[in-house]
Amino acid sequence: MQRQLISRSFKLKSSFYAALSTTARPMAAGDTGAPKSGGAQSGDAFSRREKANEDMAIKAREREKLLELRKKISEQHDHLNRLEKHLDDLANERGGYQK
């Protein structure tokens, strides 16, 4: 009699654990917290829009940096031209360039 009780309880426990270990958990898309497969192409409309906004902001910052660099280059060219003119003026005052 005890043997039958033990074997029944063992069967119940083993089937209970087997059912728990093999049952898939029902989840909605994205519930796991893992990134979506396929990269940015498979994102929803919000993530695509967010990426587009970030890209646009990055390009705007890069454009500003390029404009600043072009301005600095222009200022340096002007400075070099002034220095060359000054050297030419000094050379003309002293009778030209000496070789």
- Alpha-carbon torsion (89, 92, 93, 99), positive or negative: positive
Burial 40-72 (b: 16+ CB within 10 A, else e): eeeeeeeeeeeeeeeeeeeeeeeeeeeeeeeee
Q: Is the pLDDT of residue 93 over 80?
A: yes
Q: Is the pLDDT of residue 5 over 70?
A: no
Could you tell me if 77 and 85 are in contact, meaning their C-beta atoms sit under 8 angstroms apart? no
Q: How far apart are CA 45 and CA 66, in angstroms?
A: 31
Residue 18 banded pLDDT, cuts 50, 70, 90:
low
pLDDT digits (tens, 9 = 90+) for 40-89: 556 788 999 999 999 999 999 999 999 999 999 999 999 999 999 999 99
The answer to pTM > 0.85 is no
Residues 15-42 have a mean pLDDT of 59
> Which pLDDT score is estimated for 94?
83
36 C-beta neighbours (distance < 10 Å), count: 13
